[in-house]
Chains A and B, each alone.
Chain A
């Protein structure tokens, strides 16, 4: 039983944003750039999906199937930065590229995220051309 195309060729991106309109938009931008997309409305839901709960060693989730994580910075509860931190602290997920999005161009914030290991920091609203470039540059498959 074999499938025509190799599923691994289609990157799977987890997109995290508390704003419904932005979630719908980023999902469409990624789908138009040939990605499979899962969305989460906050950091906790994202971590649950990825299988990272309190204990980083007890891995049981979708983390291995995700090729990139793109998250908003300003979110209630857990910020995108805090989410980035948790991902980088995970032995299983630390190599998954994380992109941070924000509507605010604050150099300190940008540096903080890049220093924590974010691959890229993108200003909202995102443009299709930028997402396409991102997809080709960051996702190795």
Chain B
């Protein structure tokens, strides 16, 4: 059974790696700054909204790209949403794929779009798994009576 300080060290290492590997950027830190006693679950709430929203967007994108005649404006509109919300929570790698995705939409490049859809889904699943792991670690620390270390 890991001690509180071991868990806290794990948390710091894990968080640092997420930033170093580009999964998260400074915007995630901004979200954490907004969390306080009056709103102790703010980050989890916003990230949960992001997960729900992303899954809808991924479905919408898949449907839109399966149409006989693809409406690239519609596809672009979904990608724009995805780019916005991923950027707002600091999911940097997802946002980066969205940028490329929008370029393919503008070119009406179906192959490019389909590839980006796969990529963005992949990046989304990765960041979702990592954030869920992070939140689990936080819960473990709190349940062991510790506090979540502040990241610089």
Q: Give A residues with C-beta under 8 Å from B.
A: 19-22, 24-25, 28-29, 32, 74, 76, 103, 124-125, 127-128
In this complex, what residue of B is CB-closest to A32?
B34
Please report the C-alpha to C-alpha distance between residue A25 and residue B42 in the assembled complex, in whole angstroms: 10
Q: Which listed residue, A21, A127, A128, touches B46 by the CB 8 Å rule?
A: A21
**Number of cross-chain contacts by CB at 8 Å:** 47
Please report the C-alpha to C-alpha distance between residue A125 and residue B85 in the assembled complex, in whole angstroms: 9
- Contact (Cβ within 8 A) A124 B30: no
Pick 7 A–B contacts, CB within 8 A, sort by A. Answer: A21-B53, A22-B84, A24-B46, A32-B36, A124-B87, A125-B87, A125-B88
Complex interface: chain A residues within 8 A of B80 (CB): 74
Complex interface: chain B residues within 8 A of A103 (CB): 83-84, 87
Interface residues of B in 49-103 (CB under 8 A from A): 49-50, 53, 77, 80-81, 83-85, 87-89
Residue among A25, A76, A124 with the most chain B CB within 10 A?
Answer: A25
4 shortest A-B CB distances, which residue pairs? A21-B85, A125-B88, A28-B34, A125-B27
- Contact (Cβ within 8 A) B85 A22: yes
Q: Which listed residue, B30, B49, B53, B85, touches A127 by the CB 8 Å rule?
A: B30
SS of B interface (majority): helix
Given the interface contacts A21-B88, A21-B89, A76-B77, does A125 sit within 8 Å of B53 by beta carbon?
A: no
Shortest distance in angstroms between A32's beta carbon and chain B's nearest beta carbon?
6
Please report the C-alpha to C-alpha distance between residue A14 and residue B88 in the assembled complex, in whole angstroms: 19
- Contact (Cβ within 8 A) A128 B88: no
Please report the C-alpha to C-alpha distance between residue A124 and residue B30 in the assembled complex, in whole angstroms: 12
- Contact (Cβ within 8 A) B87 A128: no
Please report the C-alpha to C-alpha distance between residue A21 and residue B46 in the assembled complex, in whole angstroms: 7
* B20 interface residue per 8 A CB criterion: no
- Contact (Cβ within 8 A) B49 A20: yes
Please report the C-alpha to C-alpha distance between residue A24 and residue B53 in the assembled complex, in whole angstroms: 13
Please report the C-alpha to C-alpha distance between residue A29 and residue B34 in the assembled complex, in whole angstroms: 7
Q: Which listed residue, B30, B45, B49, B81, touches A125 by the CB 8 Å rule?
A: B30
Complex interface: chain A residues within 8 A of B33 (CB): 128
Please report the C-alpha to C-alpha distance between residue A82 and residue B30 in the assembled complex, in whole angstroms: 30
Complex interface: chain A residues within 8 A of B30 (CB): 125, 127-128
In this complex, what residue of B is CB-closest to A76?
B77
